[in-house]
């Protein structure tokens, strides 16, 4: 009896940790009908909360109890791989210096990528911990091995944060990168968190939608809108901004989506900052109960075309269990849609370096793993 109670308690605690990691709002509200924003507007706050363009409400159609049940009591065995997934091990020597003559992208897993452009090295949404969670012993567990530990990273010129969810902004990883990066570019409302973790004031730059930051006289880093939400707990919903990034260099451009639902602003971003050599866009963690907060793989291909994207490199899949679909389903659906649409794409393993001059072939490597 005691063992049963302990097991139930562990499930409950793990579920609460996972809900905090996912940080789903329970009673979302859209902006007032008279004050809706269009895609070209900077961020606005209604009722004390940041709002999506158009005042779109992304609250899940299911409550916390239903989400908890689907995650932990109604799970399927294929939501995580049974075998160890392959990675390409990385070292600082292997990475070398960022090239000047091409864009090179290295997927570290989930939404963490190293972007080398114009001799500058960027890192996106760093989470290199074993879980995407406020605690180290519960919540979504990493099942994709790391190609490189954070403490072994080479020097970074800047870290770009899209929003504050645990799978995109991890305290332990940030602390390990604190002395390795020149700047942290973060959404409005996130700067205080990094300063609390020990980041020097001069390293933290808070950004609003459409704000641009010039880095080393070579790159323009533009923070662009997304359709999503923010929270790191149950009481700070939408107190910080969320968004995406456009990286504009001499002769090369990259778009990083962060997390977003399908919305009209992709066309506006593409018109202002495209065409892009790479679009680095999420394809996983979609679900019928939150259709406006995450894109399906088919949505992502349509968004890539609206952005005037060149090579599509999918992210936000194959590392953490963040939804109810089988772990390899996002890649399969994307692979089929990308071939059908005729776009250029690559699907590297974690740690595999690809560039816009000779991108790796899009081989379905995941099919060899259960």
Q: State the average pLDDT over residues 336-345.
A: 97
Q: Are 292 and 259 in contact (CB under 8 A)?
A: no
Using pLDDT thresholds of 50, 70 and 90, give the confidence band for residue 38: confident
Rg (CA), the chain: 19
Q: What is the pLDDT of residue 75?
A: 61
Chain segment 303-315, per-residue pLDDT in tens: 999 999 999 999 9
Which residues on adjacent β-strands are paired with residue 23? none
Percent of the chain scoring above 90 in pLDDT: 80
Q: What is the pLDDT of residue 139?
A: 86
**What span, in angstroms and rounded, lies between the C-alpha atoms of 311 and 315?**
13
Chain segment 192-245, per-residue pLDDT in tens: 999 999 999 999 999 999 999 999 999 999 999 999 999 998 889 999 999 999
Of 242 and 35, more confident: 242
Chain segment 244-287, per-residue pLDDT in tens: 999 999 999 999 999 999 999 999 999 999 999 999 999 999 99
Q: What is the pLDDT of residue 25?
A: 56
Q: State the average pLDDT over residues 341-346.
A: 97
Q: What is the pLDDT of residue 37?
A: 72
Q: State the average pLDDT over residues 8-28.
A: 47
**What span, in angstroms and rounded, lies between the C-alpha atoms of 113 and 127?**
10
Chain segment 130-151, per-residue pLDDT in tens: 999 998 888 899 999 999 999 9
Percent of the chain scoring above 70 in pLDDT: 86
- Please give the CATH number for the structural domain made up of 92-357: 3.60.15.10
Q: How many helices (H) and strands (E) does the chain have?
A: 8, 16
Q: How far is CA 143 from CA 84, 225, 320, 327, in A?
A: 8, 30, 6, 10
Q: State the average pLDDT over residues 5-20.
A: 43
pLDDT above 80 for 4:
no
Q: Are 56 and 292 in contact (CB under 8 A)?
A: yes
Q: What is the pLDDT of residue 291?
A: 93
Q: What is the pLDDT of residue 14?
A: 47
pLDDT above 90 for 188:
yes
Q: What does the mean pLDDT of the chain come to?
A: 90
pLDDT above 60 for 12:
no
**What span, in angstroms and rounded, lies between the C-alpha atoms of 323 and 284?**
8
pLDDT above 80 for 21:
no
User: Rounded to 5 degrees, what are φ and ψ at 163?
Assistant: -165, 175
- Cβ count within 10 A of residue 80: 15
Determine the distance from the C-alpha atom of residue 49 to the mean position of all C-alpha atoms in its chain, rounded to a whole number. 21
Q: What is the pTM of this model?
A: 0.92
Q: What is the pLDDT of residue 311?
A: 97
The position carrying tokens 């690809």 is 354
Strands (E) located in the chain: 45-46, 49-50, 104-109, 112-117, 120-124, 158-160, 184-187, 204-207, 212-215, 219-224, 244-249, 252-256, 276-282, 309-315, 344-345, 353-355
Chain segment 52-83, per-residue pLDDT in tens: 999 998 888 766 667 766 666 566 779 999 99
Residue 191 host element (H or E): helix 191-196
Burial level of 130, CB count in 10 A (0-12/13-18/19+)? middle
User: Rounded to 5 degrees, what are φ and ψ at 158?
Assistant: -160, 150
Q: What is the pLDDT of residue 292?
A: 96
Virtual CA dihedral for 308, 313, 316, 317, nearest 10 degrees? 130
**226: closest CA among 186, 262, 190?**
262
């Amino acid at each position: 009896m005691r063992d049963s109670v302990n097991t139930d308690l562990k499930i409950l605690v793990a579920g609460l940790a996972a809900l905090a990691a996912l940080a789903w709002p329970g009673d979302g509200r859209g902006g007032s009908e008279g004050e809706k924003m269009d895609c070209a507007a900077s961020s606005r706050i209604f009722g004390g909360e940041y709002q999506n363009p158009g005042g779109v409400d992304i609250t899940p159609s299911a409550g916390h109890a239903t989400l908890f049940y689907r995650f932990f009591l109604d799970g399927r065995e294929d939501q995580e791989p049974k075998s160890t997934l392959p990675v390409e091990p990385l070292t600082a020597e292997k990475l070398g210096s960022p090239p000047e003559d091409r864009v090179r992208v290295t997927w570290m897993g989930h939404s963490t990528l190293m972007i080398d452009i114009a001799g500058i090295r960027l890192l996106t949404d760093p989470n290199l911990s074993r879980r995407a969670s406020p605690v180290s012993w519960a919540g979504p567990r990493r099942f994709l091995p790391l190609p490189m530990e954070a403490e072994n990273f080479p020097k970074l010129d800047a870290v770009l944060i899209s929003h504050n969810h645990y799978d995109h902004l991890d305290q332990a990883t940030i602390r390990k990168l604190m002395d390795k990066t020149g700047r942290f570019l973060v959404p409005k409302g996130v700067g205080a968190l990094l300063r609390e973790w020990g980041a020097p004031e001069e390293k933290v730059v808070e950004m609003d939608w459409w704000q641009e930051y010039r880095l080393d006289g070579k790159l323009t880093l533009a923070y662009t809108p997304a359709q999503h939400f923010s929270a790191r707990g149950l009481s700070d919903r939408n107190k910080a901004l969320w968004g995406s990034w456009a990286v504009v260099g001499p002769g090369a451009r990259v778009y990083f989506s962060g997390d977003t639902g399908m919305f009209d602003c992709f066309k506006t971003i593409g018109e202002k900052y495209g065409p892009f050599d790479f679009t680095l866009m999420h394809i996983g963690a979609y679900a019928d109960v939150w259709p406006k907060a995450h894109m399906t793989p088919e949505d992502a291909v349509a968004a890539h075309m609206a952005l005037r994207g060149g090579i599509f490199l999918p992210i936000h899949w194959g590392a953490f269990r963040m939804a109810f679909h089988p772990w390899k389903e996002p890649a399969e659906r994307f692979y089929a849609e990308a071939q059908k649409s005729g776009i250029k794409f690559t699907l590297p393993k974690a740690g595999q370096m690809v560039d816009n001059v000779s991108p790796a072939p899009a081989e379905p490597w995941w099919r060899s793993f259960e």
